[in-house]
Chain A
Amino acid sequence: MTQLVSLLTNAIVFGTVILYGALGEIVTEKSGNLNLGVPGIMYLGGIAGLAAAFFYEMHAAAPIGWVGLVISFLAAVAASMLGGLVYAFLTITLRANQNVTGLTLTIFGAGLANLFGGSLNALAGGVGQISVAVTSRAYRAYSHTLSGLGWVGQLLFSFGFMAYLAIALALLANWFLNRSRVGLNLRAVGEDPATADAAGVNVTRYKYLATCVGAGVSGLGGLYYAMDYIKGTWSTDGTIEALGWLAVALVIFATWRPARAIWSAYLFGVLYWAYNYISGLSRASIELFKMLPYIVTILVLVAVSLRRSKEAQPPKSLGLSYFREER
């Protein structure tokens, strides 16, 4: 039982990182933009949050946790939205190829984040690893009374606030896309921009907003990783990039539905950590285990194209730029 609870707890933490990434990407892709810059955006969010907290803790005489939290949260969102804006400007206004622009954004974001992540301390004149203990503690705070209620408590209440925020955002995105007027227009833009245009929807504005807001949400994944998952430090081992691609995979696995992405993200987490709880695995077979999320994603992708059902398909104009005069 404790094993299972610990597996699920780990899976939820892991899943939360990619859930943010995937939620942002779903909103972006619903506007017809395939942004392969998700890993880069998550890097930007992570490093911006970390750097903001770092400078706050360095300059404040007695750093207060929640102040650092607010500052770093805003910094993370702003930096990731800027990343999204670069992508949006290049692909929407300048009609650059989406795949290539996205990949460049990933290279750029990863480079920038690791440059600062690795040298922030040195630049600031310190030694050793960067650490923002106070802020990180605020991110990881939870109620010990509630989490003490046996395994149920641990499973439901032992996480920092961002784990719950992710669920709330997913439900909000679900409502937004399926129920709200703006969400309806957004879906039409991703499916058939010419028709949306004819109906009076401002296609360019929708694409810009969806891409930037989506990037802001994706970036929170990087922030959660830096503040909670690795407890307010930085490592240049490329984990965020791997998680970023898993987030892209998760979008496919969840067939572009935010609500489905919640449990899918945790399932990815279970698949990822399962090796820890199966005794007798060699280190080599652990690596094979880790490819499971990608394999199931491919299976879903193939199944979706095989079934030819009209639902659960990628948005029809995904990856194409819209130019009114080229109808």
Chain B
Amino acid sequence: MAEEFAVRMVNITKTFGHVTANDKVYLELRKGEILSLLGENGSGKTTLMNMLSGIYFPDSGQIYIDGREVTIASPHDAYRLGIGMVHQHFKLVDVLTAAENIALGLPGGAVVDRKAIAARVRQICDRYGFDVDPDKKIYDMSVSEKQTLEIVKTLYRGAEILILDEPTAVLTPQETEKLFAVMRNMRADGKSIIIITHKLNEVLEISDRVTVLRKGEYIGDMDTAKADVRALTDMMVGRTVTLNIQRDAPADPQRRLEIRNLTVKDKDGVTRLDDINLDVYAGEILGVAGVSGCGQKELLEAIAGLQPAVSGSSIKYRPTGPEGPAEEMLGLGPRAVSDRGIRLAFVPEDRLGMGLVASMNIAGNMMLKEYRSGKSPLVERRRPYDMARDIVRELEVVTPSIETPVRRLSGGNVQKVLVGREIAMHPTVLMSAYAVRGLDINTSYTIYRLLNEQKKAGVAVIYVGEDLDVLLQLCDRIAVLCGGRLNDIVDGRTATKEQVGYLMTNLNKEAGV
């Protein structure tokens, strides 16, 4: 009897330190089907697939390929079993051609036989409807071309089971259509495909079945024919969990930031933020929700003066409310912003690589934004030490001493140092990106408390988050980004998890109009 399942993953558990990324997860992939692996950010989808492709090794559980139990200890093992994965970050060497990237690391004769490679690439392309020029250099390729090449590469190496990690995140709708057409061709040819995604419409459009993970746990699977958006959203976000985060009504909210027509393009000219119009009020917490890479980073960095914007964009700062004077912040750069007395606090996503100097001690990091103050050519020594001591005491930072380099502190203590410093500057605007990512419960609550105190003190707080429960119970309003556009702004007190989840994954047709 022919085995029905190409892949069966049974009882898979994987922990990183104290974090359980996958907890007794099941996954079944039938031969010749497209399976969607659905879940929010941090639900453990990529971790699970990395174990199938040999990047990680599971702590416990079994993997069966074609009904046979296997051990997958390296990407090499995965290839031998016919498993190929296309990662979100492409693994391609820029200065080599497509054919050379395909040949990289493969056994074979002394000479790279370009003709033979090209011929086989063409064969694969013709069979599934790809379009790859074997002689094109990677640096000349668009994102979608690179992705196509990655898929061809896995097929070239004989993959029967393909894993695509959020392939559509970087594609235009037209390119997505093309990718789906190719996927259907591959399915018709008997390949089995897993597509990681959190876009519900795509799940319904392309896949035969869907498996849902939530917070590292297996929730269930169903045939897409029987699924609808509502049911999938419920499975994905789950029931609302009460967190008991304190939330006071904003007292006298005043408009402090006016973001108008904000459009940001990255180095490659791809639009990361598309015509954002948003007001930020003093005395409230504005949440920003969205699946990762939808423009959250660019939004905060544009406000911080680190991200150049397309002309016509504007961010106005009103220190004394809507009637008071306004100052254009865009294009100033962080130094000029602080020189004008705008106290802008920013807790970036990359704490050690951007918000702090990893090799310096706590006191040294206290100076980062204020070392310039005063006329003396010397840095002030006493104040940062006092500040460091205050923060260590008040926020209960666990550290051998304030002389310890911050890179040797644990994640939660690093974040306390960073948030503590930003609050100590008495900001008028406080931005935070994924402020509680990777932190334990107690530290997370400390952060929520601090943000609430700032709100009460009349600071305009922006909270970019990924956990919908937190967003809905901490924030006064929630701006939902989707694909670089502002999809909607909802009231944090009345909105439901399903509503926000839907807005994150389905671009409102009227958005931005």
Contacts and interface: CB of A to CB of B under 8 A. Distances in A.
B104 A201 contact: yes
A194 B104 CA distance: 13
Contacts, number: 60
B155 to A, nearest CB: 15
Interface in A175-232: 179-182, 184-185, 187-188, 191-192, 194-196, 198-201
A310 interface: yes
Contacts of A316: 94-95
Contact of A181 (B95, B110, B137): B110
B96 A199 contact: no
B76 A180 contact: no
A311 interface: yes
Contact of A182 (B92, B93, B110, B139): B110
B109 interface: yes
SS of B interface (majority): loop
Contact of B95 (A182, A196, A200, A311): A311
B103 interface: yes
A184 B105 CA distance: 9
B75 A198 contact: yes
B83 to A, nearest CB: 14
Most buried by B among A181, A185, A200, A313: A181
Interface in A302-316: 310-311, 313, 316
Contacts of A200: 75-76, 105-106
B111 interface: yes
Interface residues of A, number: 21
Contact of B91 (A180, A184, A195): A195
Contacts of A201: 104-105
Contacts of A196: 93, 104-105
Given A184-B100, A199-B104, A191 B112 contact: no
Contacts of B111: 179-181
Interface string B75-106: 11000000000000001111110001001111
Interface string A149-186: 00000000000000000000000000000011110110
Interface string A16-42: 000000000000000000000000000
A313 B137 CA distance: 14
B110 A199 contact: no
Interface in B132-153: 137, 139
B103 A184 contact: yes
A180 B108 CA distance: 10
Interface of A: 179-182, 184-185, 187-188, 191-192, 194-196, 198-201, 310-311, 313, 316
19 contacts: A179-B111, A180-B112, A181-B108, A181-B109, A181-B110, A182-B110, A184-B96, A187-B95, A188-B93, A188-B96, A191-B95, A192-B94, A195-B91, A196-B93, A200-B75, A200-B76, A310-B137, A313-B95, A316-B94
